[in-house]
Amino acid sequence: MRMARSAWVLFTMMAAVVSSARADDWPQWGGPQRDGIWREKGIVANLPAVEESTGMLPRAWSAKIGSGYAGPAVAGGSVFVTDRVGEEPRERVYCFDANTGQELWKHEYEARYSISYPLGPRATPTVDGDRVYVLGAVGHLFCFEAASGKILWQKYYPTDFGAEIPQWGTASAPLVEGDQLILLAGGKPGAMVVSLNKMTGEEMWRALEGPEPGYCPPIVLEFGGRRQLIVWHSQAIVGLDPARGKTLWQVPFAVRDGLTISMPRKFDQRLFLTNFYQGPLMINLGPDGISPHVEWRTSASSTEMKNDSLHAIMCTPVFTKDCVFGVGSYGEMRGLDPESGHVLWETLKATGPGRWWNAFLVPHENRIVVCNEQGELIFARIGRGGYEELSRAKLIEPTQPIGRRMTVWSHPAFAMQSVFARNDGELIRVNLAK
């Protein structure tokens, strides 16, 4: 058995080296295009058999790390991830070799927490060429030289932008747009959104006011032939001119406790949002992309457990021509009719019952990769007709206690024909190449 396992590990490492030249990176939150879609070819049709000794998928390597919610970023043959050192007032940034798991560099800094769920950084690092941008849980922003870990410049949200750290920390991963690094800083005055020169850290513009920034990463989408910076903060969904920060349109959508977490989803000229307490909202931006009107929304329920729509907490939904689906407030995976918002089907097969239950949904070719909070990896077909499971295996151990269950709430990265995942003790790579 030991010989077989050694042979498998050697094979996966060799396969990783051979395939790296044709493999994709996952350099930021949501992958190369920040849309949560995995586009690599040559991936297994069904998940490999688990190891008898562990009951989990065989690993190319694993590396010891501490606690945190931030998923890894993979780019240029390196993996970048952040953590917190136990209950000490320190955060760390790691760079590992993506082929071997060897630590290449580490940066450690003081970060005193006064936030809920104080288990570590929330935002996935953003890699852009030879630089990596890292945001900590209480507003420490760094621009590192990716190869060496040298600090090129840094900011601190409270002092540089006048920000008050939200109760669950800063979570919106920085966005690179041309020569800009765009942040959902939540600062004052007028610094809800801040644009910096990505090379120097010099401020370029500020935009928007509001009581809370929320937690949703900013994203650039095209509507009406125009690139727009889409920002969902605690009071509204807004479209900005990414070059200058000028408001193009906005639709009020106030959410309780600033819980804007899942990313807005686009299909044609429509934009779909969903929230734990307020539920979903479907907006049509019109042919010109700047004339929004609400197509439909469902009413917030009198009790959070009883609702007839998609009340997601962390799960960014998938929006196709004939179905919108995601994981709702108490673990229900539901499919909605995009024309009306009516529920088409519901299942708990990939998830489980419980408040804040979460799974990440990643489209890949003609299937969906489901990464649930129990550390399972699932291949499934999901659409208007419902949920059809194709393959399931244990990926990583859930280590974060939520209520009476253990969870893993960090989004994996899909790169180099592999999945890179972390919990509160390790970072792993599992090869999924054919």
10's enclosing H/E stretch is: helix 2-19
pLDDT tens figures, 344-390: 999 999 999 989 999 999 999 999 999 999 999 999 999 999 999 99
Q: Which residues pair with 157 in a beta bridge?
A: none
Highest mean pLDDT among 3-7, 166-170, 327-331: 166-170
Q: Are 68 and 82 in contact (CB under 8 A)?
A: yes
Residue 367: how many other CB atoms lie within 10 Å = 18
**φ, ψ for residue 109, nearest 5 deg:** -150, 160
d(CA 306, CA 291): 33
What pLDDT score was predicted for residue 283?
Answer: 98
Percent of the chain with pLDDT over 90: 89
For residue 300, what pLDDT band results from cuts at 50, 70 and 90? low
Structure-block tokens of residue 360? 């990440």
pLDDT at 10 over 80: no
The predicted model scores a pTM of: 0.93
The CATH code belonging to domain 315-408 is: 2.40.10.480
**Structure tokens given for 224:** 């009406």
Kindly indicate the confidence band of residue 403, based on its pLDDT and cuts at 50, 70 and 90: confident
Counting DSSP H helices and E strands in the chain, the numbers are 2, 34
- As a whole number of angstroms, the distance between CA 189 and CA 58 comes to 51
Q: What is the mean pLDDT of the chain?
A: 93
17-65: per-residue pLDDT in tens? Answer: 444 445 799 999 999 999 999 999 999 999 999 999 999 999 999 999 9
As a whole number of angstroms, the distance between CA 41 and CA 291 comes to 38
Look at the block and give the residue holding tokens 């032939």: 225
Helix (H, G, I), strand (E, B) or coil at 181: strand
Q: What are the b/e assignments for 260-289, b being 16+ CB within 10 Å?
A: bbbbbbbeebbbbbbbbebbbbbbbbeeeb
The count of C-alpha atoms lying within 13 angstroms of the C-alpha of 137, restricted to the half-sphere facing its C-beta, is 29
